[in-house]
Structure formats: C-alpha cells, structure tokens
Amino acid sequence: MLRGADIIVTARDGERLIGVSRAITDFSYCCYLSDLAVDAAYQHQGIGKRLIAETHRAAGEGATLILLAAPAAEGYYEKIGMTHMPKCWALPRKA
C-alpha cells in the first residue's frame, strides 16, 4: 500500500505518528485520498483537515480530491467544506 502511493502526508507529535494521509494521483486531474487517519487522542484539533489540505496541495490544487468516507466519518467531510458527490460506482475487490 505504501509503495504504491503517490502521496503520503504524516502528522507527528515529536517522534510519535498521530495522523496519516495516503493518496493516489495523476498530479493534474484527480487525487484519490484512499486513507485518512488521526489518532483518537488527537482528533478535533484540525489535524485531519490539515492532512487533507497538504495532500491536495501536493497533488496540485487543480486536481479534484476524491475520497470514500467510512460510515462513522461521513458528517466530518461536509463539516470541513467538502462537497458530497452522489454519483459514484464501484466494483468491489475480490477476496
């Protein structure tokens, strides 16, 4: 997963890893933010929002940033200013 990523952005408290963003992008048209995680003890401090912003900056702000929200996080993305896009299709991965 890490070797195949185009962008990895991390947040740290000293040496401790407290947040990570992993994305795949063409650096022009779109950027798929496949993983966003912030340690529960550090949530509600703007770290996730900053990880998203830094990922978008690295991909090129002309690229559309796209992600699939985990059910428990769906309300978060709208709250930080992202737009819900109802048109999405998927072919589930095969086990």
Are 30 and 9 in contact by the 8 Å Cβ rule? The answer is: no
Residue ranges covered by each domain of the chain? 7-79
Phi, psi of 21 (to 5 degrees): -130, 135
pLDDT per residue over 44-90, tens digit each?
A: 999 999 999 999 999 998 999 999 888 888 888 989 989 988 888 88
CATH topology of domain 7-79: Aminopeptidase (3.40.630)
Residues forming a β-bridge with 11: 19
pTM over 0.85: yes
Task: Label each residue of 41-55 as H, E or C.
Answer: HHCCCCHHHHHHHHH
- Work out the average pLDDT over 15-28: 97
pLDDT at 71: 84
Mean pLDDT of the chain: 93
pLDDT value of position 85: 86
- Predicted confidence at residue 24, as pLDDT, reads 97
21 Cα distance to chain centroid: 5
